[in-house]
Structures are given as C-alpha cells and as structure tokens.
Amino acid sequence: AQSVTQPDIHITVSEGASLELRCNYSYGATPYLFWYVQSPGQGLQLLLKYFSGDTLVQGIKGFEAEFKRSQSSFNLRKPSVHWSDAAEYFCAAPTGANNLFFGTGTRLTVIP
Amino acid sequence: NAGVTQTPKFQVLKTGQSMTLQCAQDMNHEYMSWYRQDPGMGLRLIHYSVGAGITDQGEVPNGYNVSRSTTEDFPLRLLSAAPSQTSVYFCASNSLDLGKDGYTFGSGTRLTVV
C-alpha cells in the first residue's frame, strides 16, 4: 500500500542550528509529496509540495525539501531554526483516491 | 476568503449524544474528506467523497456517517458519541487536478466526549 513514514517522533534542536526532518515514502510511481506544519492548537499549514521536476523544492518560512528517488525520501530542511519553528511537522502523500495519507508526525522542540 | 469552513470549533458531548460537524467549501472542489487527529497517530481518514452523491469509507469509519448532497457541503455525523471519538477533526477539499489547488484544510473541530 502507498504510505509515508516519519521515523522521528520528537526532535530537539538549538535555536540557530540546522534542521532535517525525515520522511520516507512507499510508492510505485513518482509520488506527489507534501510537508505540513501545525503549531499547538492550530490547523495545518502547507510548507511545500513536490509534484515533479526539480527535486529541490523551496517552501515558506525558509524551509526546503529534497526528493530522492534512490532513497525513497523527501526530507525537510532548514539551515537555521528559529524559536517560532517549534511545532509538529507532517509529511503526506495522496492515495489512489486522492485523499492524503499522513505520516505520524515529528514534534520539533527548539531550545533557546 | 475562499476556503474550507468548519463549525463548531469546540464541542463537548456526553456519551451517547449525537451531533453533526459541518464542513463547507466554496472552491468548487470535487473531493472532500474528513480526518481525525490523535496524538502520535497523525491524521487518519474517516470518510471521503469524490462528488455529490458519492461517499466512501476511509481508514477509521466506524461510528461516523457522512452524506454529500451538494458540492459545497460535507457534514460528518456522530450518531452515538463515545469517549474514543474524543479527537480533533479536520475537513479538507481538493480538486481532481492536485497541481491546481492542492489540498485545503479547515481550521478543525476539537471534540471532547465525556
């Protein structure tokens, strides 16, 4: 079955440090892939999406993600984390019925 | 502003009560769906619809009913609420062409069943 997995439940980084959140996918064809962010008590905000073409995708808030077919990965990165980036991050991909399948999420804590 | 509107934002129910979570979109999207979010489990699909009059079950459909009489509306019904349905519920819509609009989510409904 098509799916995405996020191996890291919780990550802690210092403010100003770089960040990489992992997402692995299991799809036969080239998938569409999304990253969402959810601040505490808030809804989902789209950070970026990959449909095709350039494998390095730029998103909002200084985030980027790279699609690597050889590693079945779509990891989210940010060169310098800000305290306001503390949130939960979800990787997701459409199923055959065009609904989104979400990973279980990675909670990011930022230490001052 | 165009988007997905969910009501109510918060709700407390007693076990056995029924209620309907409302979801409306004004983007003329064909697809609409309901998810529930629980800690450590991400968002899981409850029910979805690919057009007016057409609905189908997702990963966790038990205890929920849906209908889609119009393109705009996709209500989620809890017929007899149970504490296990305490969750945050999100409605989403998307067009057939994902490259056009992607997915649009409502702001969520936080439901507590006591």
Q: What is the helix (H) or strand (E) element at residue B99, kind and residue range?
A: helix B98-101
Residue A89, SS3 per DSSP: strand
In chain A, which residues have their Cβ closer than 8 Å to the Cβ of B102?
Answer: 34, 46, 49
Report the chain B residue with the minimal C-alpha distance to residue A106. Answer: B40
pLDDT in the model for residue A52: 81
Calculate how close chain A gets to B108, using CA atoms only, in Å. 6
| Cα–Cα distance, B14 to A3 (Å, whole number) | 35
CB half-sphere exposure, B32, CA atoms < 13 A: 30
Residue B13's closest CA among B112, B88, B84? B112
Calculate how close chain A gets to B81, using CA atoms only, in Å. 23
Residue B106, SS3 per DSSP: coil
Residue B33's closest CA among B110, B109, B92? B92
Asked if the model's pLDDT at residue A82 lies above 80, the reply is: yes
Contact: B102, A34; criterion CB under 8 Å: yes
Is beta strand A10-14 parallel, antiparallel or unpaired with respect to A106-111?
Answer: parallel
| A-to-B residue pairs, Cβ atoms closer than 8 angstroms | 52
- Cβ atoms of residues B90 and B37 within 8 Å: yes
pLDDT band at A39 (very low <50, low <70, confident <90, very high): very high
DSSP letter (8 states) at residue B73: B
Q: Could you list the pLDDT tens digit for every one of the 114 residues in chain B? A: 679 999 999 999 999 999 999 999 999 999 999 999 998 889 999 999 999 999 999 999 999 999 999 999 999 999 999 999 999 999 999 987 777 678 999 999 999 999
DSSP letter (8 states) at residue B101: H
Calculate how close chain A gets to B105, using CA atoms only, in Å. 7
Burial of A44 per CB tally in 10 Å (0-12, 13-18, 19+):
buried
Contact: B35, A102; criterion CB under 8 Å: yes
pLDDT band at A54 (very low <50, low <70, confident <90, very high): confident
Q: Which of A32, A44, A51 shows the shortest C-beta gap to B105?
A: A44
pLDDT in the model for residue B1: 62
Strand partners, A4: A25
